[in-house]
Amino acid sequence: MRPGASTVGAVRGAALLLGLTGFGATLWYGLDEPGNALAFGTLIALGELARWGAAPGEREPAPLGAAGALAYALLGTSAGHATTHGVLQTVAVVVAAGLAGIVPHIARGRGPGLDHFARRVLTVGFAALCFQPLYNAGAVTRYLGQGPAYALFLVLLLVLTALCDAVLAALLLRARTGFPYGPLLRDELRAFLGIGSAVCATGTVMALGVAAAGLWALPVLAVPLLLTQLSFRRYAAVRTVNRQTIASLARATEIAGCTPPGHAHRVAALSAAVGRELGLSGTELTVLEHAALMHDIGQLSLVDPVEGGATALLPAEDQRRIALLGGEVVRRTGVPEAVAVVVERQADPYREQPPAARIVRAVNAYDDLAGDGAGAALGALERLRLGTARDYHPDVVECLARVLARGGAPGVTSAVPG
């Protein structure tokens, strides 16, 4: 069995069991308040239909659907009348509406992964379980009333739900990639500050708005989140264009014959994996990946190309000169200064380097030396270990060895047997 498969299977199995239990209970006892179920179900389905084509790593591609699901989980009254739909009906409506919304995407081959849908089911079930029994028992209104304390209670519940979702997301990524859990969880929590906070805020406002004004509040309250979704989509498009521009610049060395085909991509993928292994996340990881893609761009300034593009075999002075030229070229592209610093300092002694530069230098040397076959790859790792006195940081080399032993980075085939 693939490592982590049991964790992924457990999460999916729990979501499937919860969904089936919700459907079974709803069919057995009947649908309470069909109007509310239809209104929120329609909102969730429309939110799924309007999902953007999220880039890899995008945390919430269907924010309107997520906000509608959370609002239904936290709905205590509708236009002043107490609701009775409970936890299991909430799950059933969210699953049915979610499936209705994603079927057209699946038909076009662009449906969401099972992991994302499983997380949605489990987190909504968690929110409903924390709220519905307490509200139906009268404990919430008895102690908090319907004023600011009640609104704050909803916000705190949604923050708890977001934390639950982040824990699940990091757990699934850990199972699939083998990366350390801490940095993955940190990335998920940072992502919550973006679209996640808007989803939670909208879910709270929707629950309060429907409680006061009825279902007519739903379309009005959905507009701000739709505008936020549009802004995030534009931001994601700009980020994608920047990433494509950097990747195109990185390919310039391959087109010019300065480096072997695929070298920049392999170094970037392995560097990102080693960076995660060392605990880097967020902006640090982005800077590392961009610097790794452009680490050889200084070779374009050379009169005579380096044989095979293997800068790791050059004397230290020549490596330093190429790194400085690369940093100067990167600065002229408009890429953030931090990327240029990593590129120009990749040839320094590792005690003087920032962490990202240490990683790029070691991974670049490995790819230069590894060649094809397990023997060459093991020999390259051994040469890196012998160079840990000055050139390569010992922790980086050992992290690289662990990443390679697990099969390398996604999209990069490792020649080192696990």
pLDDT per position as a tens digit, 319-340: 888 888 888 888 887 778 888 8
The tokens for 91 are 């799950």
pLDDT band per the 50, 70, 90 thresholds, residue 414:
very low
Chain mean pLDDT for the chain: 83
**How do the domains of the chain map onto residue ranges?**
5-233, 256-405
- Rg over CA atoms, the chain: 26
Predicted local confidence at residue 58, as pLDDT: 53
Percentage of the chain lying above the pLDDT 90 cut: 22
Q: Provide DSSP, 243-282.
A: HHHHHHHHHHHHHTTSS-TTHHHHHHHHHHHHHHHTT--T
Q: How many CB atoms sit inside 10 A of residue 34's CB?
A: 11
The dihedral sign for the CA sequence 4, 98, 235, 239: positive
| Average pLDDT over every residue of 249-256 | 76
**CA 324 to mean position of chain CA atoms:** 33
What CA–CA distance (Å, rounded) separates 246 from 251?
9
Whether the CB-CB separation of 305 and 291 falls below 8 Å is answered with no
- Per the listing, tokens 């060459």 go with 376
pLDDT in tens, 148-194: 888 888 889 988 998 999 899 889 888 887 777 887 888 888 777 77
Nearest residue to 328 via CA among 353, 294, 289? 294
Predicted local confidence at residue 412, as pLDDT: 52
Residues with Cβ within 8 Å of 55's Cβ and at least 6 positions away in sequence, in order, are 236, 239, 240
Whether the CB-CB separation of 278 and 179 falls below 8 Å is answered with no
Q: Provide DSSP, 10-52.
A: HHHHHHHHHHHHHHHHHHHH--SSHHHHHHHHHHHHHHHHT--
Lowest mean pLDDT among 47-51, 94-98, 254-258, 352-356: 254-258
| Average pLDDT over every residue of 295-316 | 73
The dihedral sign for the CA sequence 21, 222, 43, 83: positive
334: left (phi over 0), alpha (psi -120 to 50) or beta: left
Which segments of 30-147 does DSSP mark as H helices, in order? 34-49, 63-73, 86-107, 114-136, 139-144
Predicted local confidence at residue 92, as pLDDT: 96
- The pTM of this model reads 0.75
Whether the CB-CB separation of 119 and 59 falls below 8 Å is answered with no
Q: Which residues pair with 77 in a beta bridge?
A: 82
Whether the CB-CB separation of 287 and 342 falls below 8 Å is answered with yes
pLDDT in tens, 229-242: 777 777 777 777 77
Q: What is the CATH number of domain 256-405?
A: 1.10.3210.10
Dihedral, CA of residue 131, residue 132, residue 133 and residue 134, to nearest 10: 50
What CA–CA distance (Å, rounded) separates 18 from 118?
10
| Average pLDDT over every residue of 123-132 | 94
Predicted local confidence at residue 52, as pLDDT: 57
Predicted local confidence at residue 28, as pLDDT: 94
Whether the CB-CB separation of 259 and 305 falls below 8 Å is answered with no
The tokens for 372 are 């094809």
Q: Which residues pair with 82 in a beta bridge?
A: 77
Whether the CB-CB separation of 346 and 359 falls below 8 Å is answered with no
Nearest residue to 399 via CA among 296, 295, 310, 280? 280
Predicted local confidence at residue 132, as pLDDT: 93
Nearest residue to 63 via CA among 235, 184, 228, 236? 228
pLDDT in tens, 39-96: 999 999 988 887 755 444 456 677 888 889 999 999 988 888 889 899 999 999 999 9
